[in-house]
Amino acid sequence: MKRSLFLLALSAAAYAATAVPNPERNLPALIPYPQQVEITGPYKMPLLNVKVRIDSTLALPPEGYLLETYRRGVRITAKDKRGEIWAYQTLRQLTDDKGLVPSVRIADWPAFAWRGFMHDTGRNFISVENLKKHLDLLSQYKINLFHWHLTDYPAWRIESRAFPQLNDPIYQRQGRDEGKFYTYGEIRDVIAYARKKGILVIPEIDMPGHSTYFNSAFGFGMADPRGMKVLETALNEFFAEIPVSEAPYIHIGSDEVHIPNPEQFMRWADSMATAAGRTPLVWDPGLPAASERTIRQVWSEAPGYVARNPEARGRFVDSYMGYLNNYDPISFTPRMLLHNPCDRTQGDSLALGGILCLWNDTKAPSQEELIRNSSLWSGLLPFAERFWRGGPVPEGADENPNLYPAPSTPAGRMLAEFEQRMLAHKNDLLRDEPFCWWPNASLAWRVSEPVAPGADTTGVKWHTLYGGAIDVDAMLSSLGLPKPDSAVVWAETVITVPRDTVIRAQVGFEAPSRSNRISPGIGRQGQWEAGSDIWVNGVRVAPPVWKEPGAYAFHFNTWHKPEEELPYTDEQLFWTREPVELHLKAGANTVRLCSRKVFPGQHWIFAFIPH
């Protein structure tokens, strides 16, 4: 009877937006946290056997499942095959290192149908082995789409039998894994592997822009009538080799390009996709979608873009939470967790869900550093949580998504609780991954308004901000203050410890995008970046001994310039460099810092994350 009542209540609420999770203390740190959890007893039981049943009549949305542990094992009832896969992933997270599971009953389903991740393999090649490794990890967090960006400025990464010059390294950007591409057999292998993990692959062939290699190989662009004939042959070859059953969607790009015939080109590209039985996706902003059947992937971060765009129509996907490579991995976590997916509490026939994107514009010295430099996991875990659970943004979230909520607000408590779960995953399931992130939401700062370097701060207004990475630009925007070309802000926080101790901390005064590289560069020897500084109890904290002092100062956008081919090194990013040691005394310790802006385009930020 108790189980029947549980299912009755579940059926009535199955499609309702859910509230902020309130994880049971005696449960493992689940991500994403299930929609409904009931503790059925105080005991843990051995995982002796698992009984699975797929029931398409189950009163849950697609991908939903019920999971119940009992004395002899586990019962899983899934709406479909994906629901079964996600139930097993939840069970994996429930099982401790002794093979025991708690007494629990779970009803779970996604709020949004699309929960994807995009990898840019056009700019930096990623091996099939590493792609499969990433698919394994994506599946752990119920990510069900892999957006595979297969072409970009440096190279066409798809085997081409009709046009071998597309794979010829002499037409590709030197130093960008030239000559490397995926055979059709490898593409089919990745798609099949992903399907077993519950993941659908959406290939992207970016056109007519982002295609320097094409111009080099043929002497004309994709939008040229001759280029369209080449593309027609290449696309038909791809569609013949990768059947619609394996890839029912095809992304055709369309962004960041100006051509004389945009409507004509987009109608042609749309017809090519639909003639092959595929549903096309395009970037928005970009060239205008040719029909309402085209799915728009919205990447504009402008507030209200979706609502006020008069040309918007049909289905869309949310990628406007921001790109991983544009933000530091510390402040991106709350930005993502408190994002309002598709501006809705749950998906519908138009708002499909989201795709989190990682663009590898800058040359990378290794495939691992693509993940580390943008700290994929500190962005993907809150993404998985937010798009699986849905629900309203909790009270207390700042209107500026780059500012942390106050810890005492519902948004602040939600962030603090999620940080503890994410830390558990960093130390367990993701312990072998480059995961440059540490809990930091509880830090409170007094931050001054900007003053001239060396100016007296008497009478200057101070404001309370939170978190380990403070975006000064965001603070000024929130206060309605102008952004000076050159100035300093002062900031103070207090760290209290029970006894004299030494801690480590990540310290930095810039967070350059891994795309355009605009940056004041590494500090001069004996100085922090941009001439900023930090003291603990009045004692200056010495910066690292720089290996390349003063290097990488780029006050301009480096796209398509030689500087874009300079890989990031560990000491350029505050989250990848070695931490500094801080000597603290028993009781309260005052941390005071001066963050300096030295040129107009600089992203003004400072970071202090003790751990």
pLDDT for position 217? 98
Cβ atoms 48, 69 nearer than 8 A: no
Q: From 305, 308, 242, select the one nearest 276 (Cα to Cα).
A: 242
Tokens of 175: 């130093």
**pLDDT for 485-503, tens place per residue?**
999 999 999 999 999 999 9
Cβ atoms 244, 277 nearer than 8 A: yes
**Gap between the Cα atoms of 333 and 314, Å rounded:** 30
pLDDT for position 14? 36
Tokens of 103: 């007494």
**pLDDT for 94-133, tens place per residue?**
999 999 999 999 999 999 999 999 999 999 999 999 999 9
Residues 6 or more apart in contact with residue 228 via CB below 8 angstroms: 222, 265, 268
**Gap between the Cα atoms of 522 and 520, Å rounded:** 7
pLDDT for position 427? 97
The contacts found for 128-134 with CB under 8 angstroms, 24 or more apart, are 128/182, 128/186, 128/189, 128/190, 130/367, 131/190, 132/190, 132/193
Q: From 128, 126, 127, 94, select the one nearest 108 (Cα to Cα).
A: 94
Q: What are the residue ranges of helices labelled H in 338-409?
A: 367-373, 376-389
Cβ atoms 337, 304 nearer than 8 A: no
For the CA atoms of 276, 281, 283, 286, the dihedral, rounded to the nearest 10 degrees, stands at 50
**Strand residue runs (E) in 98-199:** 100-108, 114-120, 145-149, 151-152, 155-156
**pLDDT for 128-187, tens place per residue?**
999 999 999 999 999 999 999 999 999 999 999 999 999 999 999 999 999 999 999 999
Decide if pLDDT at 561 tops 90. Answer: yes
* Per-residue buried b or exposed e for 536-552, using 16+ beta carbons within 10 Å of the residue's own CB: beeeebebbebeebeeb
Band the pLDDT of 197: cuts 50, 70, 90. very high
pLDDT for position 426? 98
**Gap between the Cα atoms of 303 and 320, Å rounded:** 9
**Gap between the Cα atoms of 230 and 222, Å rounded:** 8
The owner of tokens 């390349």 is 548
pLDDT for position 315? 95
Cβ atoms 91, 65 nearer than 8 A: no
pLDDT for position 308? 80
Domains of the chain listed by start with CATH number: 2-108 (3.30.379.10), 114-389 (3.20.20.80), 443-610 (2.60.120)
**Gap between the Cα atoms of 108 and 247, Å rounded:** 27
Q: From 343, 348, 316, select the one nearest 15 (Cα to Cα).
A: 348
Q: From 579, 586, 374, 600, select the one nearest 501 (Cα to Cα).
A: 586
**pLDDT for 398-439, tens place per residue?**
999 999 999 999 999 999 999 999 999 999 999 999 999 999
The owner of tokens 């099982």 is 95
**Gap between the Cα atoms of 13 and 32, Å rounded:** 19
* 125 CB neighbour count, 10 Å cutoff: 20
Q: Is 581 in a helix, a strand, or coil?
A: strand
495 sits in which H/E element: strand 487-497
**Gap between the Cα atoms of 592 and 611, Å rounded:** 18
Decide if pLDDT at 9 tops 50. Answer: no
Cβ atoms 239, 249 nearer than 8 A: no
Q: In this structure, what DSSP letter does residue 323 have?
A: -
Q: From 318, 315, 320, select the one nearest 294 (Cα to Cα).
A: 315
Q: Is the dihedral of CA 83, 89, 93, 99 positive or negative?
A: positive
The owner of tokens 């691992």 is 368
Q: From 177, 195, 145, select the one nearest 354 (Cα to Cα).
A: 145
Tokens of 361: 């514009």
* Per-residue buried b or exposed e for 218-231, using 16+ beta carbons within 10 Å of the residue's own CB: beebbbbeebbebb
DSSP letter string over 253-300? E--S---S-HHHHHHHHHHHHHHTTPEEEEEESSSPPSSTTSEEEE--
Q: Is 128 in a helix, a strand, or coil?
A: helix
**pLDDT for 86-96, tens place per residue?**
999 999 999 99
**Gap between the Cα atoms of 333 and 193, Å rounded:** 29
pTM of the predicted structure, to 2 decimals: 0.95
Looking at residue 47, its amino acid is L
| Average pLDDT estimate for 198-227 | 97
**pLDDT for 531-549, tens place per residue?**
999 999 999 999 999 999 9
**pLDDT for 293-317, tens place per residue?**
999 999 999 888 888 875 567 999 9
**pLDDT for 330-371, tens place per residue?**
999 999 999 999 999 999 999 999 999 999 899 988 989 999
Residues 6 or more apart in contact with residue 275 via CB below 8 angstroms: none
Q: Is the dihedral of CA 330, 333, 334, 339 positive or negative?
A: positive
**Gap between the Cα atoms of 409 and 423, Å rounded:** 21
Residues 6 or more apart in contact with residue 242 via CB below 8 angstroms: 184, 187, 188, 191, 203
Task: Kindly state the percentage of the chain with pLDDT values over 70.
Answer: 95
Decide if pLDDT at 13 tops 80. Answer: no
DSSP letter string over 520-580? --SPPTTS-GGG-EEEETTEEPPPP--SSTT---B-S--TTSGGGGS---GGGSTTTSPPE
